[in-house]
Amino acid sequence: MRVATISIFNNGSASLQKHIADQARLQNQLSTGRKILTPADDPIASARILDIGQARSINEQYATNSGAAESFMRLSESTLQQVTSLIHNVQELAVSAGNPVLGPEEKKMKAADLLGRYQELLALANTTDGQGNYLFSGFQGETKPFGELSFGNVQYYGDDGQRVVQISDGRQIPISESGADVFQQIKNGNGSFVTAYNPSNVGTGIVSPGEVLEPKKWANAPAPRDFTVQFYWQPNASKPEEPIISYDLIDSSGVSLISGAATAGQTSGPRSYSSGSDIEFKRLPTDPAGPAWDYGVKTSVMGKPIPFDPLTQQPVGAPGAADSFSLKPSTNVDLFTTLGNLHTALSNYHVDAVGNGQAEFQNQLNTALSDLSGALINVTTTQAYLGSRMNETDSVKETTEDLKIQYSQTLGDLQNLDYAAAISDFAANQMVLDAARKSFAQVQELSLFRYI
């Protein structure tokens, strides 16, 4: 068979080009440390590398988001801890202010201290994250949440939403809080109902916050659940210093819950009164005959809720109706108003020579302490929610770190070069290339043109 000279040259050139290309590819692999340089090297692996690289980038962004979310929530938790300490301080101030030894001037000094606490609270409620985003403005991070209209009267300008951050494929975590929920949506009284002092009272009666014994019964009590504990007194001929004190429970329409009759013109109540004893909102065996009823709540009153002269130790004025106290469903109060009302009570404290005014002040103080307890529960509940979300963020961060390692290992398996094998291939290919060059040089000598 005849072999043309041009065929010999073409085959030799093609072989040299192939080995040179292989050598160049092996050299690039060794210099880059990657075994796949172009998608043509391994289309399937190249597609996987692209997918995993994108997933790793998204995972890294989730890790960044988790860090930012955790930082924001930790700042919120730290701020709420300061609010908690502030409430504790105000509670201590209120308790100490109840000491009857303290006069008006000492009360005013405590009012001045309370004013500083109030300004501190307003500043904490308007805390930012250092980048201009308010912690307690709900969804509106750039809106200053609280503005003071007057002392103790603070307006909320945020909303009830929550800013969220995506920390994983399936989880968006809320990081902000609604200032209204934290500082203003606070149930007064004991959280179910609130007892209140009648400003027209003249006796020394001090009403307790009361207690819910059976929540279902209180919830099923007839609306509007607006009741009055009305006290009465009658003279005691044998012991003038111990008048006969009784009371009645009256609904919002002026009808006695106990007797079922209208109470207009009534001069005595169906139940006898003993200082500090339970006032139960249900039918008692000692009550007049009638249908059974039970609203599941009770309260008590300490002192003498009648016009009483502490000097003569005897009641004054005409017998009949005396002091009264109300019992209504709890409503929302805000912490700023609570501090404002306490400041007013301290600033306006006045007790005359016979002690008139002390009962009113003590009732105001009890109301403030009750509302402060509700505020404390509100703030600590928000802290608990924040804590649970921070724990969840920590858990997601751990998962994100695990995924980061897995992605790196998978990409390494797909991309990283086996240097031992590559160096061996490079040396072998170099030997083949050298042999091809030498053989091609010798084949060139076979041309007939050398003999012309």
Q: Which three-class secondary structure string do you get for 301-332?
A: EECCCCCEECCCCEECCCCEEEEEEEEEECCE
Q: For residues 156 and 177, is the Cβ–Cβ distance under 8 A?
A: no
pLDDT score recorded for residue 323? 96
DSSP secondary structure letter of residue 164: E
What whole-number distance in Å separates Cα of residue 40 and Cα of residue 31?
19
Q: Which residues pair with 232 in a beta bridge?
A: 246, 321
CA distance 311 to 241: 11
Longest CA pairwise span in the chain (Å): 162
Band of residue 142 on the pLDDT scale cut at 50, 70, 90: very high
Collapsing DSSP to helix, strand or coil, 391 comes out as: helix
- Average pLDDT, integer, range 325-332: 95
* pLDDT of the residue at 452: 60
Mean pLDDT of the chain: 86
For residue 47, the model assigns a pLDDT of: 67
pLDDT of 406 reads: 81
Instruction: Select from 165, 187, 189 the least CA-distant residue to 175.
Output: 165
Q: Compute, in degrees rounded to 10, the torsion defined by CA atoms 416, 418, 423, 428.
A: -120
pLDDT-based confidence at 43, cuts 50/70/90?
confident
Please calculate the CA angle 264-192-246 and round it to the nearest 5 degrees. Answer: 35
Name residue 249's beta-bridge partners.
Answer: 229
Mean of pLDDT values over 146-172: 91
- Across the range 443-448, mean pLDDT stands at 59
Averaging pLDDT over each range in 81-85, 239-243, 359-363, which range is the top one?
81-85
Are 155 and 146 in contact by the 8 Å Cβ rule? The answer is yes
Residue range 9-24: average pLDDT? 64
| pLDDT of 57 | 84
Q: What is the pLDDT of residue 76?
A: 94
pLDDT at position 437, please? Answer: 65
Residues 6+ apart with CB under 8 A from 443: 8, 12
Residue type present at position 86: L
Task: Please give the residue that has the higher pLDDT: either 263 or 32.
Answer: 263
The pLDDT of residue 313 is above 90: no
Whether 307 has a pLDDT exceeding 60, the answer reads yes
> What value does the mean pLDDT take over residues 413-423?
61
Q: Percent of the chain at pLDDT above 70?
A: 79
In the three-class reduction of DSSP (H, G, I as helix; E, B as strand; rest coil), residue 140 is classed as: coil
Q: What are phi and psi of 223, to 5 degrees?
A: -65, 150
Q: How confident is the model at residue 350 (pLDDT cuts 50, 70, 90)?
A: confident
